Structure 1
Amino acid sequence: MERYGQGMAVDRFVLMAVCRHFSRNPGRPTSVELCHVNVSAQSVADPAFLEYAGALLDRHPGVAARLCFEITETAVIANLDDACRFIEAMRVRGCRIALDDFGSGLSSFAYLKRLPVDILKIDGAFVRDLAHGGSDLALVRSMSQMGQALGKVTIAEWVESEGVMAQLREVGIGCVQGYAVHVPCPLDELVGAWDSACTGPV
């Protein structure tokens, strides 16, 4: 979609859908700790999207506190000033920010000093083969230690087995994303299952 200049259109649609979902289900935001929304490099670099997101959150009060924008590391490095502007504006409103695919720009971490993100999401390329051993475990451990030193929550992507989850716990990563947790599904289905689990018999 980004290749054809449609990244921002998708981002607007998804953000609108999330805001509408929570506005139509006012009790739901209390049962969903944090809803992550990916934002394309195109949107991060366009002031019009920042204006759109701000206006939308103003029309749907209460959503921002349950919203986390995910921005890829490559998008941040390519548009550092724009990314900082977007991040600061969204954090002021109460949103949180995740740096997605962390590690894909391993050539330099100097930009992290300028970037007030809340969450680092370790690129799945380093995670998927952890069960086979090798250098990936050392790299993931170092990224986990860096995240802890910076006071960030660290999430591992592409986690597909209990074995990998166990290794991640050993290196200090307690948050994961992947098929080992849940397969992709519609938001209503996911929230409904979560609500049933929270309110069902003990």
Structure 2
Amino acid sequence: MEDEANPGQLIMPAQFIEPAEKSGKILEIDRWVIGRSISLLATHPNLPAIAVNISGRSFDDPELPAWIGGQLRQQHVAPRRLLVELTETSAVSDMGDAARFIAALRDTGCPICLDDFGTGFSSFAYLKNLQADVLKIDGMFIRDLPSERDNQVFVRAIIEVAHGMGKLTVAEFVEDEATLQMLRAMGVDMVQGYHLDRPRADHPALAD
């Protein structure tokens, strides 16, 4: 976010997300981010997909799924190209609203990703109630994966359970080749992290 008091100065998300969630302003921010993402997908038809994180506060906005569907139709963007990410902790804190919200989002055709999966001890039990399409394994289990046997056991378990339930898996914070190769051997479906690429405004994927 650009600092209005200091033009050219950026305020990082870690500084404004929590106050925005407490004030309810995050609902407007979520819609802005989703709208910009859909416009980007419309402008770049060869871009396969964009994943967008939305706040748990958006569960309080029952009109949001329909709004997303309307934006996708208006800009002629296939819903499968917009992956909506919800954090496991926010979903678990209000299971009923989260389940209804996810069901409404699924009706739009957008894939649903449960972000930061594994941070809650009852994670596997919640999978029956939260009908996500993708599980993103929390980065705390991916960092130092080659040297952390306990994390290896946990990540294998997540992948096996997810695949058994017909869900895809994503590993975040992949920072080196050894971690990437180990995750491939475990059967993870997708990975993200600085070892693969870094964010940039002039990314080659946006060249079309």
**How high is the TM-score relative to the length of structure 1?**
0.85
Shift of 1:49: 3.0
Equivalent residue for 2:38?
A: 19
- Report percent identity of matched pairs: 38
Q: Which amino acid aligns with 2:205?
A: W
Q: Is the partner of 1:32 in helix, strand or coil? A: coil
Q: Is the partner of 1:47 in helix, strand or coil? A: coil
Q: Is the partner of 1:68 in helix, strand or coil? A: strand
Equivalent residue for 2:148?
A: 133
Q: Is the partner of 1:89 in helix, strand or coil? A: helix
Q: Which amino acid aligns with 2:77?
A: G
- Report whether the alignment pairs 1:184 with 2:199: yes
Equivalent residue for 2:139?
A: 124
Shift of 1:185: 2.4
Correspondence 1:38-117 to 2 at 5 A: 38-117=53-132
Q: Distance in 2 between matches of 1:7 and 1:129?
A: 33
Q: Distance in 2 between matches of 1:128 and 1:35?
A: 24
CA-based RMSD: 1.9
**How high is the TM-score relative to the length of structure 2?**
0.82
Equivalent residue for 1:194?
A: 205
Confirm or deny: 8 A CA contact 1:67 1:95 kept in the other structure.
yes
Q: Which amino acid aligns with 2:27?
A: M
Correspondence 1:154-169 to 2 at 5 A: 154-169=169-184
Q: Which amino acid aligns with 1:142?
A: A
Equivalent residue for 2:4?
A: none
Q: 2:186 aligns with which of 171, 174, 184?
A: 171
Confirm or deny: 8 A CA contact 2:38 2:77 kept in the other structure.
no
Confirm or deny: 8 A CA contact 2:85 2:112 kept in the other structure.
yes
Q: Is the partner of 2:127 in helix, strand or coil? A: helix
Equivalent residue for 1:152?
A: 167
Confirm or deny: 8 A CA contact 1:119 1:153 kept in the other structure.
yes
Confirm or deny: 8 A CA contact 1:8 1:49 kept in the other structure.
no
Q: Which amino acid aligns with 2:31?
A: R
**Unaligned 5+ residue runs, structure 1?**
none
Q: Which amino acid aligns with 1:145?
A: E
Q: Which amino acid aligns with 2:139?
A: G
**Unaligned 5+ residue runs, structure 2?**
1-16
> Which is further off, 43-52 or 168-177?
43-52
Aligned residues: 189
Shift of 1:12: 1.0
